[in-house]
Structure 1
């Protein structure tokens, strides 16, 4: 019969690359980093919703990096770590979902502005610049929802692992 200590359920070292919830660390880095880069490369207007998106992407990127190194170094062997793992990833899901919705709404508004600009007599440079930013925002929305999905899957599998421990 298996022991109920958390050391049996939380991998450390190289085993984190083969365990089901922890294999999501690398894609979370990639998609979270892409959200950060894509939003940072657009004009931050309006400040408030896109500021929240930047906070969420930077916060989750930094904390996931710390979390990854804690797991990689094996410092996750205490009895509290399965619940902390599940709790952090559920918080990350809520944060990313709220940021994704805000980003999608702002992108929708910018799309309407781009449609209005395309029918105007402005210079083609202004229209092409607005269209480029709009396309970057669309990519950021897609990456944000993918990051939300990855954090959600990680949270579900972490909660299952926590329940077993």
Structure 2
């Protein structure tokens, strides 16, 4: 005979798995959150970094190739991530969306921080060697494009950092 205060053991056939956990709204309501706003800024600023580096004709292909890879990849992934929430796919995919949000933004922040440092190095090198005889000779237009790309790379890095902190707060508060 079972104890009167202990519930009976459920059969394995009746055990259900927990639903997906997320604290962000779906549909257009995602734009009313800070995370949704930061994702939009990440897409806009990341697209600007991509355009500005490409417009400068990539004077240092090895370094700026990485900047282009990070900016294009992060742009596409952020766009897909936003579409997942806009279309309501978070209700259909069983996963911990708070952890996915934290992990995505953390890794993207790390990669974008590296791209920002490399872009800043190319920009400062171009300014430093402007008056010397060097392989990296840029006119004022290309230097301006690289400076603008560096500023927007910093802005998008800061946006990914803020999204990482917001994701950490949501993940910790589950």
For Structure 1 versus Structure 2, the TM-score category normalised by the shorter chain is 0.7 to 0.9
Question: In the TM superposition, what whole-angstrom CA distance separates every residue of 1:20-78 from its partner, at most 9, and x where no partner exists?
Answer: 22221111111000000000001223211100000000000000000000011111233
Matched, 1:67 2:76: no
Q: Which has the larger radius of gyration?
A: 2
How much has 1:81 moved relative to structure 2?
A: 1.3
Question: In the TM superposition, what whole-angstrom CA distance separates every residue of 1:88-123 from its partner, at most 9, and x where no partner exists?
Answer: 000110011000000000111111222337xxxxxx
**Residue in 2 that maps onto 1:6:** 21
Larger relative helix fraction: 1
**Residue in 2 that maps onto 1:84:** 100
CA contact (8 A) 1:16 1:22 kept: yes
2:89 aligned counterpart, secondary structure: coil
Using the size of structure 1 for normalisation, the TM-score is: 0.85
**Residue in 2 that maps onto 1:24:** 38
Determine which of 161, 167, 173 is the counterpart of 1:152: 161
How much has 1:138 moved relative to structure 2?
A: 0.2
Consecutive unaligned residues in structure 2, runs of 5 or more? 1-18
Aligned partners of 1:20 and 1:75: how far apart in 2?
A: 20
- The residue correspondences of 1:1-165 to structure 2 (distance < 5 A) are 6-7=21-22, 9-77=23-91, 78-116=94-132, 130-165=139-174
- Tell me which of the two structures has the higher relative contact order, counting C-alpha pairs closer than 8 angstroms and 6 or more residues apart: 1
Using the size of structure 2 for normalisation, the TM-score is: 0.81
Aligned partners of 1:12 and 1:82: how far apart in 2?
A: 13
C-alpha RMSD over aligned residues: 1.8
How much has 1:158 moved relative to structure 2?
A: 1.1
User: How many residue pairs align between the two structures?
Assistant: 151
How much has 1:5 moved relative to structure 2?
A: 6.2
Taking structure 1 as reference, are residues 76 and 131 closer, same or farther at Cα in structure 2, changes over 3 Å only? same
Q: Which runs of 4+ in 1 moved over 3 A?
A: none
2:25 aligned counterpart, secondary structure: coil
